[in-house]
Structure 1
Amino acid sequence: MTDTTRFADHGVLITGAARGIGAAVAGRLAEEGARVLLTDRDGPEVERTAARLRGRGLVTEALTCDVAHRESVEAAVARAVEVFGSLDVLVNSAASCSPDTELFEDGPDEAWARDLDVTLTGAYRCCRAALPHLAATGRGAIVNIGSVNGLQDFGNQAYSAAKAGLGSLTRTLAGHAAPRGVRVNLVTPGTVRTSAWQGRDAELEAIRPLYPLGRVGEPEDIAAAVAFLASRDAAWITGTTLTVDGGLTAVHTGFRAALDHRREA
């Protein structure tokens, strides 16, 4: 059962919360008692998401925020503190993922810059703005949303480089923030069934056998991991990467299948 009090009186700010993982995290933390400010560049959609959660009796607010702009980020942090009285948890879920060109050398500078600016520098902007407020509560936590793309090659070079950088930022910031009582951790999802995969059921089915646990992830799988790392249940955990990928990066299913095929032959 969900603990409806684990985040009681906690003010939470989530970026990229209009849909997918960010929206699922917002719902999970709100269900556990948090007061959540959902932010996203898509203002109308993030307001609809927050309204749906309010319809379930949860305490949520929505705000348009573009993490590519410092002023927008600082306004979002100020809004969370104003509305909730404190900021206890920051979840950086906003990301940009540009398609690869056929040849690496044909990739445009603009796509590379956009993916890094939103995915990595955007998280940096949010952490920078939120850190003094997180430190003031004595229980502050930052959870960054990474990707297995930051660990292995799954394509999307710029996005992958940004997610790998987010892992490094998590570790270095954890060292800086620990004396101030703020924990910083990273959740690294595998393939998750979000709107990015809409209309691509055949592709999801094709990659499903690569996952040792036999399925791709759901946004709620990632939300559960975020809730743990953001809570006092993880009070002695900082600077770590929690990989939530159904075993994808731990088990080479193709290699095992090839060996099994040879034995059967």
Structure 2
Amino acid sequence: MTGLTRFQGHGVLVTGAARGIGAAVARRLAEEGARVLATDRDLPEAEQTAAALREQGLAVEAFACDVADRGSVEAAVAHTVGTFGSLDVLVNSAAHCTPDVPLFEDQLDDAWARDLDVTLTGVHRCCRAALPHLAASGRGAVVSIGSVNAQMDFGNHAYSAAKAGLGSLTRTLAGHAAARGVRVNLVEPGTVRTSAWEGRDDDLDALRVLYPLGRVGEPEDIAAAVAFLASRDAAWVTGTTLRVDGGLTAVHSGFHAARRPFREV
């Protein structure tokens, strides 16, 4: 528990909240007093996550939401407002990443379209449905989860393009929503230890040396950044991309390792 109460009385909707970063965000905001609707396409797992948090005394409910379906998104927004009385914070964590095929020209249209539809257009659907309610709350905030893939080549062409698009959408929506009292920001994580890396501890350990801070991220690292941007502590912050990546994109560790012998001569 953080001891903070920055979201006391807030109604919050988190997409992709069954596991990983989304689940950590749901926990963090609920710990700070929010009433959270943890949505996911995988409802049984979202229900397990919500039930575990309720056992800790946190106000978290699960709800089925497929961000690729407009009706599903609108139902989740309506349920948040109907259940909690307001929608004050929207956190867009749902994403889809299709592994690259060996040759770019062999990538299928359907795979490319699926990554963009969930990862980028899904955020558009959620923001479109939520914005009137966020404006009505008087303290509305949107925080989306991007990726350092938007900044450098880490593979996954379609996913990376979608995450890069989130940066532009964040800025343009921030400009539109500012006059309505709604802030819109983006968090860009580096490698984070989630279920996607389950059984791959050796891979994570190999990546650790690329991070100046000496480790990969944990979901709680990202949740802390989301909590800041969604709170009134960031009342004068909008249209911003906050990289939470252990210094990965600020320091070229491989370059420094390669030139070290020359400095020692």
Partner of 2:51: 51
Partner of 1:69: 69
Q: For the structure 1 residues 263 and 256, does the alpha-carbon distance in structure 2 shift closer, same or farther, using more than 3 Å as the test?
A: same
SS of 2:16's equivalent in the other structure is: coil
State the one-letter code of the partner of 2:199: G
What is the Cα deviation at residue 202 of structure 1? 1.2
SS of 2:239's equivalent in the other structure is: coil
Partner of 1:158: 158
State the one-letter code of the partner of 2:105: E
Q: Cα deviations across residues 70-112 of structure 1 (Å, max 9, x unaligned)?
A: 0000000000000000000000000000000000000011110
State the one-letter code of the partner of 2:182: V
What is the Cα deviation at residue 3 of structure 1? 3.6
State the one-letter code of the partner of 2:7: F
- Identity between Structure 1 and Structure 2 (%): 79
Q: After TM superposition, list the pairs within 5 Å mapping 1:173-192 onto structure 2.
A: 173-192=173-192
Query: Gaps spanning 5+ residues in structure 2: where?
Result: none
Distance 1:228 1:147 in 2: 18
Distance 1:166 1:184 in 2: 11
State the one-letter code of the partner of 2:140: G
Partner of 1:130: 130
Distance 1:259 1:236 in 2: 41
Distance 1:207 1:180 in 2: 42
Query: Gaps spanning 5+ residues in structure 1: where?
Result: none
Partner of 1:228: 228
Q: Cα deviations across residues 9-54 of structure 1 (Å, max 9, x unaligned)?
A: 0000000000000000000000000000000000000000000000
**TM-score, normalised with respect to structure 1:** 0.99
What is the Cα deviation at residue 248 of structure 1? 0.1
Runs of 4+ in 1 over 4 A off after TM superposition: none
Q: How many residues align?
A: 265
State the one-letter code of the partner of 2:101: T
CA RMSD in angstroms, aligned pairs only:
0.8
Distance 1:197 1:261 in 2: 33
**TM-score, normalised with respect to structure 2:** 0.99
What is the Cα deviation at residue 264 of structure 1? 2.4
State the one-letter code of the partner of 1:246: G
Distance 1:138 1:263 in 2: 56
Distance 1:264 1:108 in 2: 49
Distance 2:182 2:45 in 1: 31
Q: Cα deviations across residues 123-162 of structure 1 (Å, max 9, x unaligned)?
A: 0000000000000011000000000001111000000000
Q: After TM superposition, list the pairs within 5 Å mapping 1:2-21 onto structure 2.
A: 2-21=2-21
Partner of 1:242: 242
SS of 1:13's equivalent in the other structure is: strand
Q: Does 1:120 align with 2:120?
A: yes
State the one-letter code of the partner of 1:178: A
